Structure 1
Amino acid sequence: MELHNQLKALADKIHQLKDKIETEESTKHAFVLPFINILGYDTFNPTEVVPEFTADLGLKKGEKVDYAIFQNGNPILIVECKNWREDLNVHNSQLFRYFHVTKTRFSLLTNGIEYRFYTDLEEPNKMDEKPFLEFDITTVKENMVNEIAKFHKSNFDVDSIVDNASSLKYTREIKRLISEELIIPSHDFVRLFANKAYSGRLTERVMEEFKELVQKAFNQTISEKVNDRLNAAINKEAEKQQEDNVETQEPESKIITTEEEMEGFRIVVAILRRKLPVSRIIHRDTQSYFGILLDDNNRKPLCRLHLNGGNKYLGVFDDKKNETREPIQSIEDIYKFEDALLKTVDNYL
């Protein structure tokens, strides 16, 4: 949680200052060094964070990487920085050369906002072309914070990070491919589903038709799953609220169930038995109202009869379990609300 708060504070600082930052050097001091400090490394200790670290390659001298982070006298991470306005896609070749020379297992390319971590999964001592960890610090999410935390000084373990890097890298790549397929399905992707759904010959015309169908089906599936999750969360909250709002049942001695209430109950049963077994429709009288429940569950009210006061009401419930009191002149008027009562049953079923 502390790391998350520190990253959030740095993100807020970036939003406030970035338009005033003009140079690469300013980017380093305002954005990158604070990030390194958040990871627990002392940016003022030259044995821990080394600026302008020498990375000479063969006869080519004077090559320097912006920062090297050391642990136990060995470089564990080299950092190449660019101006926050620059596109990082054109700069990883420079870091590629540095990685080979410095013998580290990890390198970081950043412009203070985007962060890309690399290692050598595909070939030893040769930096992979694609990062295994990538994030925008201004929009970093909780699951990404857990990955960043592994680079913290107190947690840093080479083997642990490398073991996890492969999963991160290829999961990220698969997610990217899925996103691309959802936008513009490839021929192979469409054929995979067309082969299983269509029994005829897959002509060019059929494939073109299925391209649109596959795209639509996948997007609808994702939307439905999102809606299901939202509805489940809403229903859970509504049930909790309903449970909290359930009125405490009065002592039995204070409750008098009238014949009029029982007659009203029988009318409700007559309406609801079209969709429910009679055994599931239960009445529970209180001093304030006569409640009719599904499965004798306070969290599943079917309706309420308010017959003891000067005015009579039928309490009906919407899909969020909010009660609306409808005035009635006699219990026979309950039949006028047949649709509302049956809809309440549908909401539970």
Structure 2
Amino acid sequence: MNLKETIELLNNVISENSELIKNEESTKQFLVLPLLKGLGYDTYSPQEVTPEFTADFHKKNEKVDYAISINGQPRIFIEAKSINTKINKSAPQLSRYFSTFPSVKLGILTNGIEYHFFTDLNNSNIMDSKPFFIFNIINHNEEDFENLIKFSKNLYDEETVKILAESLIYFQSFKSVIKEIFESPNDDFIKFVIKERFKFKVTQQFINTSRPLIVKSIQEAISEVISEKFNIDTSRPSQEVSATSVEDITKDEKKIYYTQDEIDSLGKFEEFEGVTIVLPNPDSYIKLLKLTSEEYSVEKGNPLSDFFISSVVTQGSTIVGYLVGQYVNQMEDIKLYTVKSNEIAKFLDENPILKETGFINARLGSRLNKKNNETTYFLKSCLNNLSFRDIPNLISKIEDTEKFF
């Protein structure tokens, strides 16, 4: 059962049996453990998911409800409350457990419906007072679900969690500031707007006089931006615009760099064990790249190379692997390799010419993790302004990546 199916099942359990799930133990058994299993953790292995984990640095016999261990070290602490308990934004009990173990970088407080995720952005090894992410089993959107996937066993990475936490915290902070300014602009913002267009000295009296004009200007400016961007008449009531029409308009507004015929000409699409692959057509790449055949060679890793990326495997919005193809027998046959995203560096080391030059229909890039000094490789289309996500049939969403690899 994949994560999406697990959440659907938990929704049914909550709606049909919430009256029977009255205490903390039943909440853990019927709601918390199934979600952990849906995230890929082995709830039957006490070495991986340890119940009543002893964390008695501050007080004797204090135990965290669950500790999830990775490579033999506790990495995640989970404190569960009963389904009827309202979760506060602060979690002092979980915070005490968190600070006991330096290896723990993620704390989760839950009542089986809401899951509050905490880390230590402000001070190392001291849990932040506010969660950076809240997931609600019965009330979440697609973005929430894709963020939840990042905490699954196969994808969990402390650096990724830190980046996610920072982005969510910053986003919420920026949004709240902008909202406050739009609803009630402060003196500094009003002064900034005035001085952008006028050179005279701005007095406090003029700021006070200008405040209602600034508020009105913000409201009308937002309306005009929406109107120009989506070709929507903002003078009409918002309910007159259907979700379908907005979606259609958004698609029409998207800039198209290559025609559908040109994209389709890039190769022949076939199925390989349920995964869509593309067999590249070098002539199409030569035409779109507008380069002469003399500029192509195996050494340069361009479309005349015998290596190519045929498909990108994703789980949610995260790339987890690649299907790498190689022409063999005078390009009459194709050999396919499945390569996990984090193991692609090893694959490249075994094929040094690829590490130097890149792949057919892909550019090779890399990111350096400053903490562990490890390099992670990533790929983009060799066509300008066109990523794999923009090409239909090049992406395969896999729910169970273990079966694929």
> TM exceeds 0.5?
yes
Specify the alignment match of 2:350 in structure 1.
none
The AA in structure 1 aligned to 2:118 is Y
Distance in 2, matches of 1:19 and 1:227, equals 49
1:139 aligns to what SS in structure 2?
Answer: coil
Specify the alignment match of 2:209 in structure 1.
206
TM-score with structure 1 setting the length: 0.58
Is 1:83 aligned to residue 86 of structure 2? no
Aligned partners of 2:55 and 2:62 also within 8 Å: yes
The AA in structure 2 aligned to 1:128 is D
Change (3 A) 1:80 1:191: farther
2:138 aligns to what SS in structure 1?
Answer: helix
Alpha-carbon shift at residue 184 of structure 1 (Å): 4.6
Alpha-carbon shift at residue 81 of structure 1 (Å): 1.4
Specify the alignment match of 2:141 in structure 1.
141
The AA in structure 1 aligned to 2:91 is N
TM-score with structure 2 setting the length: 0.51
Distance in 2, matches of 1:11 and 1:226, equals 35
Equivalent pairs: percent with the same residue? Answer: 35
Alpha-carbon shift at residue 153 of structure 1 (Å): 1.1
The AA in structure 2 aligned to 1:163 is I
Specify the alignment match of 2:92 in structure 1.
93
Aligned partners of 1:193 and 1:214 also within 8 Å: no
Aligned length: 237
1:11 aligns to what SS in structure 2?
Answer: helix
Distance in 1, matches of 2:82 and 2:110, equals 9
1:148 aligns to what SS in structure 2?
Answer: helix
Aligned partners of 2:53 and 2:63 also within 8 Å: yes
Distance in 1, matches of 2:16 and 2:160, equals 36
Change (3 A) 1:208 1:116: same
2:78 aligns to what SS in structure 1?
Answer: strand
Report the structure, 1 or 2, having the larger helix content.
1
Change (3 A) 1:51 1:235: closer
Is 1:102 aligned to residue 101 of structure 2? yes
The AA in structure 1 aligned to 2:50 is V
Specify the alignment match of 2:9 in structure 1.
9
Alpha-carbon shift at residue 211 of structure 1 (Å): 5.8
Alpha-carbon shift at residue 107 of structure 1 (Å): 0.8
Specify the alignment match of 1:74 in structure 2.
73
Aligned partners of 1:115 and 1:135 also within 8 Å: yes
What CA RMSD, in Å, does the superposition of the two structures yield over aligned residues?
3.2
Deviations 1:87-124 (A, max 9, x none): 32264122111110022011111122221211122222
Alpha-carbon shift at residue 198 of structure 1 (Å): 6.9
Distance in 2, matches of 1:23 and 1:53, equals 20
Specify the alignment match of 2:220 in structure 1.
217
Deviations 1:135-171 (A, max 9, x none): 2222222222222112111122223322333223212
Q: How does 1:53-202 map to 2 (within 5 A)?
A: 53-58=53-58, 60-89=59-88, 91-103=90-102, 104-196=104-196, 201=202, 202=204
The AA in structure 2 aligned to 1:206 is T
Change (3 A) 1:164 1:235: closer
Specify the alignment match of 1:36 in structure 2.
36
1:70 aligns to what SS in structure 2?
Answer: strand
Deviations 1:4-59 (A, max 9, x none): 3332332343233334433223322222222111111122321111111111124x
The AA in structure 2 aligned to 1:88 is I
Aligned partners of 2:183 and 2:215 also within 8 Å: no
Distance in 2, matches of 1:184 and 1:21, equals 45
Aligned partners of 1:4 and 1:142 also within 8 Å: no
Q: How does 1:264-279 map to 2 (within 5 A)?
A: none
Change (3 A) 1:196 1:99: same
Change (3 A) 1:196 1:4: farther
Distance in 2, matches of 1:214 and 1:84, equals 46
Q: Which moved more, 1:204-213 or 1:224-233?
A: 224-233
Alpha-carbon shift at residue 223 of structure 1 (Å): 5.7
Deviations 1:180-209 (A, max 9, x none): 444554454454445546777452642542
The AA in structure 2 aligned to 1:68 is A
The AA in structure 2 aligned to 1:7 is I
1:175 aligns to what SS in structure 2?
Answer: helix
Specify the alignment match of 2:333 in structure 1.
none
Specify the alignment match of 1:268 in structure 2.
none
2:135 aligns to what SS in structure 1?
Answer: strand
Change (3 A) 1:157 1:187: same
